[in-house]
Amino acid sequence: MAQPNEAEMKKRLFHRGHNIENASGAPNGWKTTISGNTIISKLSLVKKSIDWWYDMQTFMPPEKFIIAGSREKASQKVEDYKGFKLINDNGDLNGWYVILGTKLLKGSPTAIKKHLDLVITKMQKK
């Protein structure tokens, strides 16, 4: 009996109740079916679609994750200030934010830093 060579073998994975297979061996050749929708993409994006379906019960194609992820990485800026991470996702001058406890502070980096300085000073006096 002849053994199939590596190019003819399908790679298969099981993720959250879904069979994922790659017959081509290409990095973006992973395939599964979610709620009747067949998708083919990179393994990480196929898994994200499965996770989205499992968590939200809504179909989200892998392409949606590519657009959101690439835009976020391209424009996101992070600045460390006295142990706090100031983040700007959109590139706007006043688009900075930081999470302070359970509060979200938004605005310019200068305004946020002034507020953080006041909070730190108040905490040191206690």
Tens of pLDDT, residues 9-26:
789 999 999 999 998 888
Strands 96-100 and 84-88: antiparallel
Judge whether 90 lies within some domain: yes
Judge whether 111 lies within some domain: yes
The tokens describing 105, both together, are: 């502070």
Cβ atoms 59, 35 nearer than 8 A: yes
Judge whether 113 lies within some domain: yes
Q: How many domains does the chain have?
A: 2
Judge whether 1 lies within some domain: no
Judge whether 114 lies within some domain: yes
Indicate the pTM of the whole model. Answer: 0.49
From first to last of the 126 residues of the chain, give the pLDDT tens digit: 555 555 557 899 999 999 999 988 888 889 999 999 999 998 989 999 999 898 888 998 888 877 544 544 556 788 999 988 998 887 788 889 998 888 888 999 999 999 999 998 998 887
- What pLDDT is attached to residue 6? 52
C-alpha distance across the termini of the chain, in Å: 80
Cβ atoms 56, 63 nearer than 8 A: no
What gap in Å lies between CA 59 and CA 54, rounded to an integer?
9
How many CA atoms within 13 Å lie on the side-chain side of 59? 9
Enclosing domain of residue 90? 76-125
Cβ atoms 50, 16 nearer than 8 A: yes
Cβ atoms 98, 86 nearer than 8 A: yes
Side chain identity at 30, as an amino acid letter?
W
DSSP bridge pairs for 20? 13
Strand (E) or helix (H) holding 90? none
